[in-house]
Each structure stands twice: as structure tokens, then as C-alpha cells.
């Protein structure tokens, strides 16, 4: 078995690479951000063991083919900018999740990273439907997925259980193979 599975992708100044154990400290720091906790269901409080689990789980996904989990880093400095994860494909469908560090926001990092992984997924798998589920009210994320070529499909009530098991409504977006 390959000891270091995974793929590296690049666009502009961004490198998307598999997580490494040495990223745990940067993940721990990033995941203290209240905006990430507000919109992404991550453990609260987010502790060092949780950061290590992010990396361990990502390596398992690559090894088992159950997904593709990338650290988004600055190609020149390797500074952590965020995370983009593809869960699946499971059959013809795969789902995306994404967060950025606060200083990486507002310059197209999320939309370019998401578009890159979506294009790569269509090129390298049989997936037909890529989707993302965004809590209602997360307007930055709504704009990001539209910029990445996804289309809004509707609202799913009580789709997710947020911290403490609180049901939250999500907007579903999808990009279908062959969409312009």
C-alpha cells in the first residue's frame, strides 16, 4: 500500500495537497475561528486531538477511496489557507465541504479551489452529480458555490444537526456533469 496516498492540484497561487501530520497545529489554530464553528459542524471546543483526527481521517479517505481531502495552501510558502473535502463519490454522487482561514477569505480562494476539485472529479471519476449543503444564512458560502459553477436547487428543512443536535435548514447546490 502507498504510504503517502493522494493527489496534488494547483491553480494560480494555490496548491491543494493531501494533509500531513505537521499540519495539525495550523488546523487547530484555524478551527478556533467562530465563523467556521458557526457554519461547519466541527467539535466544540476544537482540541488538539480533533486536529489530529482531521488529518488521520483524511489519510483514511485517500487510502480507502471514500473521498479526497485537501489542504489548501499558498504554493509559495505552504501557509495553510483552508480545507476542501470531497466525500465520495458514492455511486454517481459526491458531496463537498470547505472552510478558509479568516485571512484567506475574499480573494476567490474558496471558489477557485472548489471549481478545481470539481473539474478534477469529473475528469477522474464516474461521478455525475456533485453537491454542497449550505446552512441557510451563510451568504459568503452561497456566493462561493455559485462562482464555482454549482446551481441552487432548493432548501432542505432540518437537513443537518448542528452543535448540540440543533436541526438546521440547508440550501442544496449541485453541479451536474455537462453543466456549462
Among 51, 127, 144, 168, which residue sits at the site for ligand COA (rule: CB under 6 A)?
144
- Told to check if 171 binds ligand COA by CB under 6 A, we report no
Among 48, 77, 143, 152, which residue sits at the site for ligand COA (rule: CB under 6 A)?
143
Find the shortest distance in angstroms from Cβ 3 to ligand COA: 31
Cα separation, 96 vs 123, in Å, equals 16
Cα separation, 141 vs 100, in Å, equals 11
Q: Of 63-71, 72-80, 102-110, 118-126, which segment contacts ligand COA by CB under 6 A? A: 102-110
- Told to check if 16 binds ligand COA by CB under 6 A, we report no
**By Cβ distance, which residue is nearest to ligand COA?**
108
Among 35, 126, 153, 179, which residue sits at the site for ligand COA (rule: CB under 6 A)?
35
Region of 115 on the Ramachandran plot (φ > 0 left; ψ -120 to 50 alpha; else beta): alpha
| 144, three cell numbers | 462561493
E-strand ranges in the chain read 9-11, 14-18, 67-74, 80-90, 93-100, 129-135, 151-162, 166-176
Site residues, ligand COA (CB under 6 A):
35-36, 39-40, 98-100, 105-112, 134, 138, 140-141, 143-144, 147
Amino acid at each position: 500500500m502507498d504510504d503517502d496516498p493522494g493527489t496534488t492540484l494547483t491553480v494560480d497561487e494555490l496548491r491543494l495537497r493531501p494533509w500531513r501530520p505537521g499540519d495539525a497545529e495550523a488546523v487547530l489554530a484555524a478551527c478556533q475561528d467562530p465563523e467556521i464553528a458557526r457554519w461547519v459542524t466541527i467539535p466544540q471546543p476544537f482540541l488538539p486531538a480533533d486536529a489530529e483526527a482531521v488529518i488521520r481521517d483524511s489519510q483514511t479517505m485517500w487510502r480507502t477511496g471514500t473521498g479526497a481531502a485537501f489542504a489548501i495552501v499558498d504554493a509559495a510558502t505552504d501557509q495553510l489557507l483552508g480545507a476542501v473535502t470531497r466525500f465520495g463519490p458514492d455511486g454517481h454522487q459526491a458531496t463537498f465541504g470547505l472552510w478558509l482561514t479568516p485571512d484567506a477569505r475574499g480573494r476567490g480562494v474558496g471558489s477557485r479551489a472548489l471549481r478545481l476539485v470539481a473539474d478534477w472529479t469529473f475528469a477522474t471519476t464516474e461521478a455525475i452529480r456533485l453537491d454542497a449543503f449550505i446552512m441557510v444564512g451563510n451568504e459568503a458560502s452561497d456566493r462561493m458555490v455559485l462562482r464555482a459553477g454549482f446551481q441552487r436547487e432548493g432548501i432542505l428543512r432540518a437537513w443537518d444537526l448542528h452543535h448540540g443536535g440543533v436541526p438546521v435548514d440547508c440550501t442544496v447546490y449541485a453541479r451536474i456533469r455537462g453543466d456549462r
